[in-house]
Amino acid sequence: MVAIVIDDEVLAAEHISRLLRKSGFTVYCFTNPFEALEYDPIRYADVFYLDIEMPEISGLKLAENIRDVNMDCEIVFITGHNQYALEAFDVSALDYLLKPVTPGQVERSIERIIKRRGNKQSIKEGKRNNKTCVKVSLFGKTSIYREDESKSLRFMTVKAAEVFCFMLLQKRGTEVSKWKLMDEIWPDKDVSKGDINLRSTISRLNKTFRENDIQIALKSTRNGYQLEISEEIKADVFLLENIADINYLITEDNLLTYEGIILSYNDMLLEDFDSGWCDMYRTLYHRYFKIAAHKLIDYYRKGQQDSLRILNIVERLTRYEPYDDEIRELAFRLYHRSYGRSEAMKYYRNYTELLKEDLDMQPGEKLKECYQTLIQDA
């Protein structure tokens, strides 16, 4: 296992490091906590031994920063005073050692580490065998929950939810600079305040995921931040994007799933947020919706499906594209086929009034011809 010791007292840090190496640990030792935060092993170390009383930053605060980039690690605090014990356990510390640290104290902490890591591994394996995926919805109110649960996770702040959504919508594995995040989420803040807000928001976000046992974390990288997802996720936005792909074919086997995705498009993407960055994604995913809906309509028509089934999707399109003559023409024909001549004529008149009132326009020539043909055939 990998251990990192951070203590501004050189002799104390070297003493603990020696004891850990004797027990088979790979140990990295630091007297400057900020140097440690820039070191790669901080992202994968199994345990951190942290001095609570350091001049640059307290061990308690340092532990929070470490958990932002390594949410699964163990923390052992080193202190010269018992008074910090309760605070240590408030940040989920595994143990605390009182100075001067003895070999017996270190051995006790190692036993606890081995036991805790073993238990965590057993729990992970059990969850892997009985795992339900995490479902994420970004259309309408943002929600995230396990597939077998109905209650959505509660984010600590709206900004925490917004940062998660922004990172989720990036291509998987993308590193986003902190400057980009500050510009998009806190455009009205100066650099100093934006940086403070970003750090505290990421800390809250990761804490929320840890406490709800969801294997998602926003990890610090050399160039910014990256969303790390360690379990299966089903997000409504990605399902829609997938079916809109030109290579995705509709079949009898996936038809019901495809329909469900289209019909679930009821609310605006990211309606909880009013930041400027949301507009681009709303436009993008609405385009995916239109592409996917047209694919489904074409599939229905080729298979000579029931007119009402096609009309259901067409009306879903007209809800968002009320002035699209091509869709209105199809709806007009479907009304005629499903409900008869009088209902089709009524539909045409209502559409004509809508165009006149909203845009001071008339229906297109093709739709007019359809209407005139219907009148002449009466």
For tokens 């930041």, the residue is: 275
Per residue in 169-207, pLDDT tens?
A: 998 889 999 999 999 999 999 999 999 999 889 988 988
On whether residue 78 sits in a domain, the answer given is yes
Compute how many other C-beta atoms are within 10 angstroms of the C-beta atom of residue 87.
16
Same domain, 105 and 163: no
Closest CA relative to residue 278, chosen from 372, 142, 153: 142
First to last CA, the chain: 85
Q: Where a domain ends, among 129, 151, 170?
A: 129
Task: Determine contact, residues 131/231, Cβ cutoff 8 Å.
Answer: yes
At residue 249, the pLDDT reads: 94
On whether residue 179 sits in a domain, the answer given is yes
Q: What is the b/e burial string over 353-362, where b = at least 16 CB atoms within 10 angstroms of the residue's CB?
A: eebeeeeeee
Cα distance between residue 226 and residue 254, in whole Å: 33
CATH number where 22 lies: 3.40.50.2300
Same domain, 274 and 213: no
Q: What are phi and psi of 245, to 5 degrees?
A: -60, 140
Same domain, 266 and 367: yes
Counting the structural domains of the chain, the total is 3
On whether residue 36 sits in a domain, the answer given is yes
Mean pLDDT value of segment 298-321: 88
Average confidence score pLDDT of the chain: 88
On whether residue 241 sits in a domain, the answer given is no
Task: Determine contact, residues 224/242, Cβ cutoff 8 Å.
Answer: no
Same domain, 24 and 111: yes
CA distances (Å), origin 295, targets 144, 174, 292, 319, 334: 29, 30, 5, 17, 17
Same domain, 182 and 295: no
CA distances (Å), origin 81, targets 32, 53, 163: 21, 10, 38
Same domain, 160 and 83: no
Q: Where a domain ends, among 129, 147, 163?
A: 129
Q: What is the b/e burial string over 100-116, where b = at least 16 CB atoms within 10 angstroms of the residue's CB?
A: ebeeebbeebbeebeee
Task: Determine contact, residues 102/76, Cβ cutoff 8 Å.
Answer: no
Q: In what order do the strands lie in the sheet with 143-146?
A: 143-146, 134-137, 233-235
On whether residue 60 sits in a domain, the answer given is yes
On whether residue 174 sits in a domain, the answer given is yes
Same domain, 255 and 201: no
pLDDT band, very low/low/confident/very high, at 378 (cuts 50, 70, 90): low
Q: Where a domain ends, among 63, 96, 129?
A: 129
Same domain, 122 and 7: yes
Burial tier of 125 (Cβ tally within 10 Å: 0-12, 13-18, 19+): exposed
Answer whether residue 83 shows pLDDT above 70.
no
pLDDT band, very low/low/confident/very high, at 13 (cuts 50, 70, 90): very high
- Cα angle 223-225-230, degrees, rounded to a multiple of 5: 130
Same domain, 265 and 346: yes
Mean pLDDT value of segment 15-21: 94
Same domain, 263 and 341: yes
On whether residue 264 sits in a domain, the answer given is yes
Same domain, 54 and 160: no
* Secondary element (H or E) of residue 48: strand 47-51
CATH number where 281 lies: 1.25.40.10
| C-alpha 42: how far from chain center | 24
Residues 6+ apart with CB under 8 A from 37: 62, 65, 66
Task: Determine contact, residues 270/278, Cβ cutoff 8 Å.
Answer: yes
Q: Which of 88-102, 169-183, 241-255, 318-332 has the lowest mean pLDDT?
A: 88-102
CATH number where 190 lies: 1.10.10.10
Per residue in 360-372, pLDDT tens?
A: 999 999 999 999 9
Please indicate whether residue 322 or residue 117 has the higher confidence score (pLDDT): 322
Same domain, 9 and 119: yes
Cα distance between residue 82 and residue 101, in whole Å: 13
Cα distance between residue 54 and residue 62, in whole Å: 10
> Strands 74-79 and 95-98, how do they pair?
parallel
On whether residue 92 sits in a domain, the answer given is yes
Domain that holds residue 96: 2-129
Q: What is the b/e burial string over 197-216, where b = at least 16 CB atoms within 10 angstroms of the residue's CB?
A: bbeebbbebbbbbbeeebbb
Answer whether residue 123 shows pLDDT above 50.
no
Answer whether residue 354 shows pLDDT above 90.
yes
